[in-house]
Amino acid sequence: MTIRNFSEDTLTAEVLRRIEGTPNARLKEVMTSLVKHLHAFVREVRPTPEEWFTGIKFLTDTGHWCDDKRQEYILMSDTLGVSMLVDFIHYGNDTNATESTVLGPFFVEGAPEMPLGANIARPGTPGEPCYVSGTVSGLDGKPVAGALLDIWEAGGDGYYDVQKPEGTNLRARFRAGADGKFHFRCVRPSSYPVPHDGPVGRMLAATGRHPMRPGHLHFMLQAPGYDKLWTHLFVRGDEFLDSDAVFGVKDSLVIDFRRNGSGVYEASYDFVLKPSSAIRQK
């Protein structure tokens, strides 16, 4: 039997037939779904060859913008809501544990470990002084002694350290005390635009969207026996809470940053970690 002379009606089935023998079951599931959805997309949109090539050029350009400091594909996934969709599906909010949100492209492995109470902002960093404290506990309410907290944020000028030539700033790793408590100094988070000088910025502009994120502090929390949590604390009252460019805002993560008598903003949050999935599934 010759298998040729395909038409718009028969081609999809033949592509699917050819990947039926994929040995890895999960890869087969992923590829089958990808082919079905891609073909359905093309049937619906009916792009001209020039339009299809414009799409390919856009993806090529997106790749060219990626290096060890800039991840344009993460940004694309974030701004199209896909990162948060994966987060909802994978992490869920079926318990009283602290909710997660998007990791973003500015986490750096190996930030300097600082003693509790240290200021993660070097002298001269733009922004208003801020003091953040809180606790880390498990679902049972017991403190998670020695939990590791990675914290990172943009300065008052809206830039992360990795976007400037200045070296490490506004990021650190802390270890909660035996009572699960932590505290540190930083600058009050300000709203800022996601990088929008590349292909994703063009996509946002072309679709009438702004690139702004509401002010937030990033946290990554980990401790043996608990699931790793990456999340943010957002500033209540920020004008971009309802139009975050990456769809990451959850009410439970929006907190007050109140100015005290000395002009320092203060905020506090009690994090609750889930027991590790491996333990839960037993």
Task: Provide the binding-site residues for Fe ion, judged by CB under 5 A.
Answer: 104
How far apart CA 226 and CA 274 sit, in angstroms, is: 6
The least distance separating ligand BEZ from the CB of residue 104, rounded to whole angstroms, comes to: 3
Residue 194 touches which of ligand BEZ, Fe ion, none (CB < 5 to 8 A by kind)?
Answer: ligand BEZ
Residue 171 touches which of ligand BEZ, Fe ion, none (CB < 5 to 8 A by kind)?
Answer: none
Q: What is the DSSP letter of 260?
A: -
Q: Is 75 in the site for ligand BEZ (CB under 6 A)?
A: yes
The least distance separating Fe ion from the CB of residue 218, rounded to whole angstroms, comes to: 6
Residue identified by tokens 């009252």 is 237
How far apart CA 6 and CA 244 sit, in angstroms, is: 45
Residue identified by tokens 């590791």 is 148
Tokens linked to 137: 């506990």
Q: Which is closer to Fe ion, CB of 104 or CB of 138?
A: 104
Give the β-pairing of 181-187 and 212-213: unpaired
The least distance separating ligand BEZ from the CB of residue 74, rounded to whole angstroms, comes to: 7
Determine which residue in the list 97, 149, 233, 246 makes contact with ligand BEZ, applying CB under 6 A. Answer: 246
Q: What is the DSSP letter of 156?
A: T
**CA-based nearest residue to 215, from 184, 183, 269, 255:** 255
The least distance separating ligand BEZ from the CB of residue 248, rounded to whole angstroms, comes to: 7
Give the β-pairing of 229-235 and 216-222: antiparallel
Q: Which amino acid is at 254?
A: V
Structural contact between residues 77 and 133, judged by C-beta atoms closer than 8 angstroms: no
**CA-based nearest residue to 150, from 120, 129, 130, 122:** 120
Q: Is 213 in the site for ligand BEZ (CB under 6 A)?
A: yes
DSSP 41-69: HHHHH---HHHHHHHHHHHHHHHHT-SSS
User: Contacts with ligand BEZ in 96-155 (CB under 6 A)?
Assistant: 102, 104-106
Q: Which is closer to ligand BEZ, CB of 212 or CB of 273?
A: 212
Residue identified by tokens 């994978």 is 90
Structural contact between residues 214 and 244, judged by C-beta atoms closer than 8 angstroms: yes
The least distance separating ligand BEZ from the CB of residue 194, rounded to whole angstroms, comes to: 4
Q: Per-residue string for binding with ligand BEZ, 157-196, x by CB under 6 A? A: -------------------------------------x--
Q: Which is closer to Fe ion, CB of 104 or CB of 180?
A: 104
Residue 184 touches which of Fe ion, ligand BEZ, none (CB < 5 to 8 A by kind)?
Answer: none
The least distance separating ligand BEZ from the CB of residue 41, rounded to whole angstroms, comes to: 24
Q: Is 78 in the site for ligand BEZ (CB under 6 A)?
A: yes
Q: Which is closer to Fe ion, CB of 138 or CB of 248?
A: 248
Which residue is closest to ligand BEZ by CB? 104
Give the three-state DSSP class for 212: strand
- Judged by CB under 6 A, the number of residues near ligand BEZ is 9
Q: Which is closer to ligand BEZ, CB of 213 or CB of 274?
A: 213
Binding residues vs ligand BEZ (CB under 6 A): 75, 78, 102, 104-106, 194, 213, 246
